[in-house]
Amino acid sequence: MKALVFHGPGERSWDTVPDARIKDPTDVVVRIDSSTICGTDLHILKGDVPEVTPGTILGHEAVGTVVEAGPAVTTVAEGDRVLVSCITSCGRCRFCKEGHYGLCTGGGGWIFGHLIDGLQAEFARVPFADTSVYKIPDELSDEQVLFLADILPTAYEVGVLNGNVRPGDTVAVVGAGPIGLATIMTAKLFTPARIIAIDLADARLAKALDFGADAVINNGSEDAPARIAELTGGLGVDVAVEAVGVPDTFELCAEIIRPGGRVANVGVHGHPATLHLETLWIRDVTITTGLVDTFTTPKLLDLIATGRLDPTPFATHRFELAETMEAYDVFGDAAKTNALKVVLSAQPVHLEAPAGERSSVARS
Ligand SMILES: NC(=O)c1ccc[n+]([C@@H]2O[C@H](COP(=O)([O-])OP(=O)(O)OC[C@H]3O[C@@H](n4cnc5c(N)ncnc54)[C@H](O)[C@@H]3O)[C@@H](O)[C@H]2O)c1
Ligand SMILES: [Zn+2]
Ligand SMILES: [Zn+2]
């Protein structure tokens, strides 16, 4: 089979590799119908995630069809269409029993494209199938559910729920990448009074308005704390969601939060950020951190099925699986290409293009 293989920092290729096979009785093998690329895959390629060993197939988000089920699998069978999520659950450890699947100590958690082969491939072995995959209703398209594999539950659980967004709140979302935009989308489920997006890139702020932000601040050219003070009568925001992962944006969140407010950190940080306890100690501020657990996936799937949530606008570019190398180039150059999520599809995606004009460049 073919797959996107990590060969060490800066090195990736679309290789022929051994077919995915059942290893444990609780495994299934899934034919990948749609997959996508995450900012975390770019971090891996930069060498930021040293546990990923050369030779690992990347990718942790997919929709696929079960082609083989291990003898101990009872709830999914050959032919079932399933969402394969970034988080796997053993179903047996203490954390899985508490719904904290991201912290699984029984061999699950974030394993795809990290500790085991991932999902940017023609086929994949999926461990703990009974407790890890989600059957997809026939009427939903791959693109309607694909982003449930990572960005939607991450933004909803680690941003909106940890931040305890309530009706009438003023919510600041710092960082308007896919995670920040998914935070805006899912925060709206709680009817906040106002959502303010903050980013350095005007193109991302324009997207934030499309996704439902009410006001935007470019913190590269504007004084963000002063603008927030203006917009909130000097009080600060009720909830600030950090969706970048650098010290500056965490510190900005702590600066713009009102007394009694909540800072929900979603960003993955590689460097220490300063916690200004000398100003925060008296302000009753709550700060949360977290890795996604995906315990909200069934409910988010319901919201999509009933038409209350439409994640399809995240799909800005489409490629065939065999074009995954080009898709990485486009996704990795988002400042130029305006890519949010690239969809990798096992089906031909360029039928509309006349023969001979099939270019490998981005199309939206
Ligand atoms: N906690 C979790 O479980 C979890 C899961 C997935 C992703 N993440 C993390 O969430 C973060 C966001 O992910 P993403 O895919 O949206 O990333 P992204 O890189 O696509 O988007 C980040 C956005 O932040 C903006 N930005 C960069 N520096 C900024 C600054 N100083 N001030 C304001 N804006 C700035 C960029 O212009 C961009 O629009 C990343 O750190 C990612 O690793 C966390
Ligand atoms: Zn991811
Ligand atoms: Zn577990």
Q: Is the pLDDT of residue 313 over 50?
A: yes
Report pLDDT for 351. Answer: 55
Ligand number, closest to the Cα atom of 243? 1
Q: Is the pLDDT of residue 22 over 90?
A: yes
For the chain, what is the mean pLDDT? 95
CA of 85 to the centre of ligand 2 (A): 9
Pure H helices in the chain: 39-46, 94-97, 129-132, 142-145, 151-153, 178-187, 202-210, 224-231, 247-256, 277-280, 297-305, 324-332, 334-337
CA distance 309 to 189: 9
Report pLDDT for 328. Answer: 98
Residue 361 — very low, low, confident or very high, per pLDDT cuts 50/70/90?
A: very low
Report pLDDT for 270. Answer: 82
* Average pLDDT estimate for 342-355: 75
Ligand number, closest to the Cα atom of 98? 3
Instruction: Kindly report, residue by residue over 168-222, the tens digit of the pLDDT.
Output: 999 999 999 999 999 999 999 999 999 999 999 999 999 999 999 999 999 999 9
CA distance 209 to 205: 6
CA distance 20 to 18: 7
Find where tokens 């009785």 sit: 25
* pLDDT-above-90 percentage for the chain: 93
Q: Is the pLDDT of residue 106 over 60?
A: yes
Q: Is the pLDDT of residue 355 over 80?
A: no
59 lines ligand 1 (CB under 6 A): no
Report pLDDT for 62. Answer: 98
186 lines ligand 1 (CB under 6 A): no
Ligand number, closest to the Cα atom of 95? 3
42 lines ligand 1 (CB under 6 A): no
Nearest residue CA, atom 8 of ligand 1? 267
Nearest residue CA, atom 18 of ligand 1? 177
DSSP letter string, 215-229: EEEETTTS-HHHHHH
CA of 137 to the centre of ligand 3 (A): 26
Residue 360 — very low, low, confident or very high, per pLDDT cuts 50/70/90?
A: very low
Nearest residue CA, atom 41 of ligand 1? 267
Name residues with Cβ closer than 5 Å to ligand 2, which is an ion. 38, 40, 150
Atom of ligand 1 nearest to the CA of 265: 1
52 lines ligand 1 (CB under 6 A): no
Residue 268 vs residue 299, higher pLDDT = 299
242 lines ligand 1 (CB under 6 A): no
Nearest residue CA, atom 9 of ligand 1? 267
Report pLDDT for 48. Answer: 85
CA of 42 to the centre of ligand 2 (A): 10
CA distance 37 to 315: 11
* Average pLDDT estimate for 155-166: 98
Atom of ligand 1 nearest to the CA of 252: 32
CA distance 189 to 180: 15
Q: Is the pLDDT of residue 342 over 90?
A: yes
- Site to probe by mutation for ligand 1, drawn from 179, 199, 340 as the one with most ligand atoms within 8 Å of Cβ, is 179
For the whole model, what pTM was predicted?
0.94
Residue 353 — very low, low, confident or very high, per pLDDT cuts 50/70/90?
A: very low
Q: In terms of C-beta density within 10 A (0-12 exposed, 13-18 middle, 19 or more buried), how is residue 246 classed?
A: middle
CA of 177 to the centre of ligand 1 (A): 6
Residue 144 vs residue 350, higher pLDDT = 144
Q: Is the pLDDT of residue 362 over 50?
A: no
Structure tokens belonging to residue 141: 């398209």
Ligand number, closest to the Cα atom of 158? 1
The amino acid that residue 87 corresponds to is I
CA of 267 to the centre of ligand 1 (A): 6
